[in-house]
Structure 1
Amino acid sequence: MLLCLMFSLDTAVKQFASLTITPSHVMAGDDIVMTCALCNRSSDSRITKVIWVLSVNGEPGYVEYFPDINKEDQNIQHIQTKVEYKSDKASLTVQNASTLLNGICRCIIFFKDSNEELPSLLSQLTISAPYIPPEITSHSITGKESLQCISSGGYPEGQVMWHYRNGSILTKSVSTQHISNGMGSFDINSTISLGLQKDAEICCSVIHTVLQKNWTTCTDTAAQERRRWHMIAVPFAVVAFALIIALLLYCTSVKEADRMKLWKCKQ
């Protein structure tokens, strides 16, 4: 819970608001309850409006609630909300929260017959999302062998660790990119390029420090090598087989033509 923030107009100390967000650790798909309350309840009858200012995909948006006419309005159209009002506080429930809402939020209380408005402290809203298990593929670029590890859909940025299955960490020739996918989460693309042992088992782990989870995928470089040669050998074998069939058909047609010529000569 945030500490109440006091505001002074001239020399008089006025009321102040507090913003409480529950749960404190938010997962994508969870409901979030943001409670905006007066720390000093003596003037709660003068409340005419409460606004929650949220960050949506980096752009400011708001949800308003007018308790005196029991009406809810908002300029954030793609989130589902529910508002409850009591004499000393108003609670905004954001349903099925998305990582698009990651950012800064605050609430502001307005009063009747007054220009007074009481904002709360700014609060960082962080909605976590897990990454999908990584996939590893092998590539050969300019004669250099490399492995590529791809994972997506997580927030915030995850850490990537390359290592042998026995736990030995690989740090050389590693390049990792975190790409914002426009949906409030990140895609990870990491490559490692080095002289790998042909029979080594290489693993890529994506680590989510907030959720304290990691997802690991391993690959056998010898198997990758066999698959690569298989991908080359199979098309080559198909082409060679087709050429052999074509040659046999050609030879058969030539022999048939020669046989017909011989038969005509005998006639």
Structure 2
Amino acid sequence: RVRVADEGSFTCFVSIRDFGSAAVSLQVAAPYSKPSMTLEPNKDLRPGDMVTITCSSYRGYPEAEVFWQDGQGAPLTGNVTTSQMANEQGLFDVHSVLRVVLGANGTYSCLVRNPVLQQDAHGSVTITEALWVTVGLSVCLIALLVALAFVCWRKIKQSCEEENAGAEDQDGEGEGSKTALQPLKCSDSKEDDGQEIA
């Protein structure tokens, strides 16, 4: 089983009738894993926000070459920090950080290349315009619901006030009728009493 520590030059000696030797060079290589991408912050994003995108790839050998690209394939070289650390087996873990200002439609790709195997491992993160539209629509919908609830509350309150006012008016009219009728009853009874006496 080949390990990273086995890398180096070896000489093979062969003696049958004549003595001969040959040198061979052993170069060890291990492919890198598919990069994992993280975005910070990862919510409530708007075009123009500054974000940090991290690309991580593991257990490769030798040290990798890391490239960043935008959605059009143009290289992104500014604000990039890459670190590579070897584990106890001698394999490398790669972490590359890109700081970038988000556009309305943004795709950011990380390419981890093994220079010996000439193999590339790709990772990408995309923030589409649909996301901004969704966020905008959500905010508008919430505002509309709040406004609608306020209008309904005002109408219900106004309706209740009108009903209460109507009920008070009816009570007032009823009391006035009773007072007007009461003297009539009293006068009738007096006339009846006068007739009986006569």
Q: Provide the TM-score with structure 1 as the length reference.
A: 0.40
Partner deviation per Cα, 1:183-231 (whole Å, 9 max, x = no partner): 12110000011212142010001111211111111111359x88xx9xx
Q: What's the counterpart of residue 185 of structure 1?
A: 91
Higher helix share: 2
Which residue among 131, 145, 158 is the counterpart of 2:32?
131
The equivalent of 2:76 in structure 1 is 170
The alignment's C-alpha RMSD in Å is 3.2
Q: Quick one: distance in 1 between partners of 2:102 and 2:10?
A: 48
Which structure's relative contact order is higher, taking Cα pairs within 8 Å and 6+ residues apart? 2
Match of 1:219 among 125, 129, 133: 125
What is aligned with 2:6?
Answer: 101
Q: d(CA) in 2 for partners of 1:168 and 1:205?
A: 13
Q: Which residue of 2 aligns with 1:37?
A: none
After superposition, the C-alpha distances for 1:61-105 in whole angstroms (9 at most, x for unaligned) are xxxxxxxxxxxxxxxxxxxxxxxxxxxxxxxxxxx2122322454
Structure 2 unaligned segments of length 5 or more: list them: 15-19, 42-48, 136-198
Number of residue pairs aligned between Structure 1 and Structure 2: 122
Distance 2:85 2:102 in 1: 27
C-alpha separation between the residues in 2 aligned to 1:198 and 1:135? 23
Tell me how far apart the structure 2 counterparts of residues 144 and 105 of structure 1 sit (CA, whole Å). Answer: 52
Letter of the aligned partner of 1:128 in structure 2?
A
How big is the shift at 1:124? Answer: 4.5
1:9-45 per-residue CA deviation (whole Å, 9 max, x = no partner) reads xxxxxxxxxxxxxxxxxxxxxxxxxxxxxxxxxxxxx
Runs of 4+ more than 3 Å apart: 103-109, 118-121
**Of residues 207, 222, 229 in structure 1, which corresponds to 2:113?**
207
Quick check: 1:176–1:189 contact (8 Å CA) kept in 2? yes
Residue 160 of structure 1 is matched in structure 2 by 66
Whose radius of gyration is greater, 1 or 2?
2
State the TM-score, normalizing by the size of structure 2.
Answer: 0.52
Counterpart amino acid of residue 101 in structure 1: D
Looking at structure 1, the residues matched to 100 and 107 of structure 2 have their Cα atoms a distance apart, in angstroms, of: 14
Distance across 2 between alignment mates of 1:133 and 1:199: 24
1:195 partner letter: V
Separation in 2, partners of 1:169, 1:152: 23
Confirm or deny: 8 A CA contact 1:102 1:184 kept in the other structure. Answer: no
